[in-house]
């Protein structure tokens, strides 16, 4: 029986419902995917809670990986039996089977496990655009990333190190300090024990960093601004601690001539050419061994409520997947 997770109202994890579904034949430029793994991402909790409003009812989930089992009309670049992965709209990856547009699909190279591919699409492609497009880092630069032990953070640390950066990460516990150090970070700061801004300025001899990558949100904004160098860039790409409050530009941004940007995948991976460049670069990092992915935890589709409780409870210390079958 085919199954999918749906929400009919926003709220806590309890609003997630697993339902039996049936699928029509895929439409033009679509394929049917038998899903082997589904990536879990913190943004999924924003969609469920209503922080990012959606028209209801709706399925959740941005990324997955599986095998193509049927083709719609006009599909030219994919075949039945192809291993694929994807990220992006339409939402609804929390399911066992689905029809999905080919414009967001990428083929998974031989030698890369589909569970790994499922965790990579949002986290890995996010890391790609952060490091190569939003603020293209240079070898020798010292940069700061918040939530270094999280799913994006573990990929980011290894990727940034492979580009020749000195990478500072912040975490919230001593356990996470060790996880971050294992994933490429040169310096790791437990922000519950130390003032991370003061420590970053100490590490950089008072100069500050040219860029801060921040998926945490309101709890880290003030410290991030403090430890940025003159003309530095604040890259705000998430709200794990809550959305940013109104920013007083003359007081916060103007004194050091800072840049504040709010990027997302949709802005950087909107064309086939951009998606192919990003996914090719990402898979090459994996195949070369420069980035190593270890699945932290696997959930069944029926355990999706527990998965969201763990996400919001900061209990997932690395990439996690839902395995639907």
Q: What is the pLDDT of residues 160-216, one digit of tens each?
A: 999 999 999 999 999 999 999 999 999 999 999 999 999 999 999 999 999 999 988
Average per-residue pLDDT in the chain? 94
The CATH architecture that domain 139-263 belongs to is: 3-Layer(aba) Sandwich (3.40)
Q: What does each C-alpha distance from 57 to 7, 9, 17, 98, 217 come to in angstroms? A: 6, 7, 11, 16, 28
- The string of pLDDT tens digits covering residues 114-158 is 999 999 998 999 999 999 999 999 999 999 999 999 889 999 999
**E strands, 60-101, where?**
63-71, 83-87, 97-101
pLDDT higher than 70, residue 223: yes
The pLDDT > 70 percentage for the chain reads: 98
Kindly indicate whether the domain formed by 2-120+286-323 is annotated with CATH number 3.90.180.10.
yes
Please tell me the predicted confidence (pLDDT) of residue 265. 87
- Please give the C-alpha separations between residue 66 and each of 1, 110, 304, in angstroms, as whole numbers: 17, 13, 19
Q: What is the pTM of this model?
A: 0.87
Distance of CA 168 to the CA centre of its chain: 19
Task: In the chain, list all ranges with CATH 3.40.50.720.
Answer: 139-263
Instruction: Give the residue-averaged pLDDT of 6-34.
Output: 97
**d(C-alpha 184, C-alpha 186), whole Å:** 6
The separation between CA 197 and the C-alpha centre of its own chain, rounded to angstroms, equals: 24
What is the chain's Cα-based Rg?
20
Interhelix angle for 114-129 vs 272-287, to 10°? 120
Query: Which residues lie below 8 Å from residue 254, measured CB to CB, with a gap of 6+?
Result: none
Residues of the chain with CATH 3.90.180.10: 2-120+286-323
- When mean pLDDT is compared across 33-42, 187-196, 234-243, 295-304, the lowest value belongs to 234-243
pLDDT at 243: 66
What pLDDT, in 10s, does the model give residues 52-103? Answer: 999 999 999 999 999 999 999 999 999 999 999 999 889 999 999 999 999 9
CA distance 1 to 22: 8
Burial class (CB in 10 A: 0-12, 13-18, 19+), 102: buried
Q: Is the per-residue pLDDT at 240 higher than 70? A: no
């Amino acid at each position: 029986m085919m199954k999918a997770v749906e929400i009919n109202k926003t709220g806590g994890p309890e609003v997630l419902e697993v339902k039996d579904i049936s699928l029509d034949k895929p439409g033009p430029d679509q394929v049917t995917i038998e899903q082997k793994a589904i990536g879990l991402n913190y943004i999924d909790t924003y969609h469920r809670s209503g922080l990012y409003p959606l028209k209801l009812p709706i399925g959740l989930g941005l990324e997955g990986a599986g095998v193509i089992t049927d083709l719609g009309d006009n599909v030219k670049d994919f075949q039945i039996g192809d291993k694929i992965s994807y990220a992006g709209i339409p939402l609804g990856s929390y399911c066992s089977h689905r029809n999905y547009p080919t414009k967001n699909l990428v083929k998974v190279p031989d030698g890369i496990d589909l569970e790994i591919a499922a965790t990579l699409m949002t986290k890995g492609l996010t890391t790609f655009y952060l490091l190569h497009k939003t603020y293209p880092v240079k070898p020798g630069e010292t940069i700061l990333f918040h939530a270094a032990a999280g799913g994006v953070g573990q990929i980011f640390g290894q990727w940034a190190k492979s580009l020749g950066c000195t990478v500072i990460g912040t975490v919230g516990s001593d356990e996470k300090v060790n996880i971050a150090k294992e994933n490429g970070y040169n310096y790791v700061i437990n922000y519950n024990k130390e003032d991370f801004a003061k420590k970053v300025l100490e590490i950089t001899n008072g100069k500050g960093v040219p860029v801060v990558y921040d998926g945490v949100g309101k709890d880290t904004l003030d410290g991030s601004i403090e430890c940025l160098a003159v003309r530095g860039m604040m890259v705000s790409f998430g709200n794990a601690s809550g959305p940013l409050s109104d920013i007083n530009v003359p007081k916060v941004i103007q004194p050091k001539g800072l840049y504040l940007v709010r990027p997302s995948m949709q802005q950087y991976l909107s064309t086939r050419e951009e998606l192919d460049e990003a996914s090719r670069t990402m898979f090459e990092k994996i195949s070369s061994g420069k980035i190593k992915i270890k699945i932290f935890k696997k959930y069944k589709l029926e355990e999706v409520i527990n998965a969201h409780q763990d996400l919001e409870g900061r209990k997932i210390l690395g990439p996690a997947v839902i395995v639907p079958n």
